[in-house]
Chains A and B, each alone.
Chain A
């Protein structure tokens, strides 16, 4: 199961679903990470974590552990 945490730099994908059991799921949905949306990994921090993902016309920085609940394939 591939999640947004596995994205490579510049990779564009469509969100498949969001793991609703993950504690960050609700907040991620609320900021716009809903199924069907296109996301792209646009930046990575120096330690490769957190990552910055573009969604719905903005960029959200999130930890890989948060990105783990965004399932892309």
Chain B
């Protein structure tokens, strides 16, 4: 994707405080559509892209997490500062574009000035000029350029206004940017006195460059006032530091002293229930298409091994996972809207006090929320938590939150428990499962917090300092594209694994006895097929392996077939569904893929007995197993990477998977004692 660095290829780094319009600008330059999130650390990793061809400049562009200053306090800031000085692949930037929110000039110039003082080649991009104008002020950019010591441009990353000027300046000065410069290491001097001195300098700059827009009506009045000495300097300053009026109004409700937390829980509940209800009709449709495809394939290829591979192995295996794409996309749509609106920081603030009681931080909220999508980005998002202990504790509990890969599993199992006209209950139970995953993660955090130093070392100075950005209307295009991407990513991540595993599982459940001899006297063709299917499976390689794991599965009221599905789920949880579809041979029934899967599950018996394999209690057992078990290799790998050792991932694997087995055992046998089969 990135061209090799040639001598005329510029390496430009984008730097800016959180909420300064950095990612919007990056998207405009690169033509990509990264999500801009009103939350620090939203760009947790750096992204590199080429400048779009239409701009006619050969350049690589890097976007990195927002930073407040060059003195990092959190890991995401550390990465951003390190990457600014030296990108691992691209090295030192030829040019740094610092985004500065014009309506918060002094706060954002602070970082810009630090970077200029570090002797980078700097251009300042002044964003949100319109918001400053609404407040009645504008920036004299020539004067600002002159005083601060670098070129400044007013730009708008959404419309592209002003960016031409910036680019033509870059183009004209390409050669001078390439000249070797020696950087000052900023971290050498960073005590509080330095901060104060720098702010004094910036306030002076602000005073000189910020000019009030004089509309004609006011000019005369102002002259008169000046003569009477009514307009004081203090008054002007106050006006440009007013906070967004609409935000103040919304926060009166959403950050209300008593109702704020109630609204918070309402918003969260709506998010989780809607995943189920909104997606249901679309899922039924996709499911129906795949079932027809599988039937067609079997008809066309004939009832031989190739036909079975095509319809059972490939179409049903892949289809059973594709069915859940709508749900995943709706989950990401709602998360995207929440993120883009600016509510996340408020959520973090509202939940800080309760979370601090159990050793977490308000800043754990965003990682936990993304944990409902996937634990991997969630663990990376935990980098925004400054206190190491709180950060490790957050990472520790993240696998308990119900990630989107578990959604297909729950949906299938709940559809079994609540068939037909009881389906609405499934939505409520799913919301309850989500709620329970929050509770269990909180409980886990509280317990580990009590165990104190034994698991995660204590560390002092826990703090919570977070900007509450102005609310804004979520950009439909960005949210929609992000939703589309997450669906695509889900398929890309799970797709190949599922395809390969589907074929493997099909092979191991069909061979060596692909065409078993059965007694065909006095029975219909349908019965012959059924008999052949079960005979083929019973003499397959998977069955041989199954005998080894059977003792582990029996206490849970299950047999080896579910065991094989559970083990295959370790590559990715959603594989469980496709494995089930394969093992329980979902074909030749009318209706949708989901329906025939449920039919097959209803009719399956344990071994040669007449006892049903899937009963309410055994299904509840599987659900409980999935709620706790850490069955995701990628999560284990990222946990190792983010915590810096194997200690935490191994503890997570043993504790959560052990707990899953134990609780599932207790639930199944408890329910059976109570009389629920």
A interface residues (Cβ-Cβ under 8 A, vs B): 9, 18, 20, 23-32, 34-35, 38, 42-50, 52, 54, 56-63, 65-66
Contacts and interface: CB of A to CB of B under 8 A. Distances in A.
A65 B463 CA distance: 8
A24 B192 contact: no
A61 B345 contact: yes
Contact of B464 (A32, A34, A42, A66): A66
B430 interface: no
A35 B251 CA distance: 27
A20 to B, nearest CB: 4
B255 A52 contact: yes
- By secondary structure, the A interface counts as mixed
B522 to A, nearest CB: 73
Contacts of A56: 104, 106-107, 241
Nearest to B106: A56
Given A42-B243, A45-B255, A49-B353, A26 B465 contact: no
Contacts of A57: 103-104, 107, 240-243
B243 A28 contact: no
Contacts of A52: 251, 255, 349, 468
A24 B242 contact: no
Interface residues of B, number: 48
Contact of B465 (A28, A46, A49): A28
Nearest to B70: A30
B56 to A, nearest CB: 37
Contacts of B192: 18, 20, 25-26, 29
Interface string B340-383: 00000100111011101000001000000000000000000000
B528 interface: no
Contact of A63 (B104, B464, B467): B464
Nearest to B258: A46
B69 A30 contact: yes
Nearest to A49: B353
Given A42-B251, A43-B255, A49-B353, 6 more contacts: A27-B68, A31-B68, A31-B107, A43-B257, A52-B468, A58-B243
Contacts of A50: 349, 352-353, 362, 464
Contacts of B69: 30
A25 B190 CA distance: 12
A47 to B, nearest CB: 4
A63 B353 CA distance: 9
- By secondary structure, the B interface counts as helix
B196 A34 contact: yes
Residue with the greatest number of chain B CB neighbours at <10 A, chosen from A9, A30, A44, A66: A30
Closest 5 CB pairs of A and B: A61-B349, A46-B261, A43-B255, A47-B353, A23-B461
Contacts of A46: 257-258, 260-261, 350, 353
B248 interface: yes
20 contacts: A9-B257, A24-B463, A27-B463, A32-B199, A45-B260, A46-B258, A46-B350, A47-B354, A50-B353, A52-B255, A57-B103, A57-B240, A57-B243, A58-B107, A58-B243, A59-B251, A61-B348, A61-B362, A61-B466, A62-B465
Contacts of A34: 195-196, 199
Contact of A30 (B68, B241, B468): B68
Residue with the greatest number of chain B CB neighbours at <10 A, chosen from A25, A35, A48, A50: A50
B588 interface: no
Contacts of B68: 27, 30-31
Residue with the greatest number of chain B CB neighbours at <10 A, chosen from A50, A52, A58, A65: A58
B584 interface: no
B75 to A, nearest CB: 15
B73 A32 contact: no
A60 B464 CA distance: 10
B517 interface: no
Contact of B195 (A24, A29, A44, A61): A29
A50 B257 CA distance: 11
Contacts of A61: 345, 348-349, 352, 362, 464-468
B353 A35 contact: no
A32 to B, nearest CB: 5
Contacts of B71: 26, 30
B258 to A, nearest CB: 6
A45 B350 contact: yes
Contacts of A47: 353-354
B399 interface: no
A29 B196 contact: yes
Interface in B229-245: 238, 240-243
Nearest to B200: A34
B104 A58 contact: yes
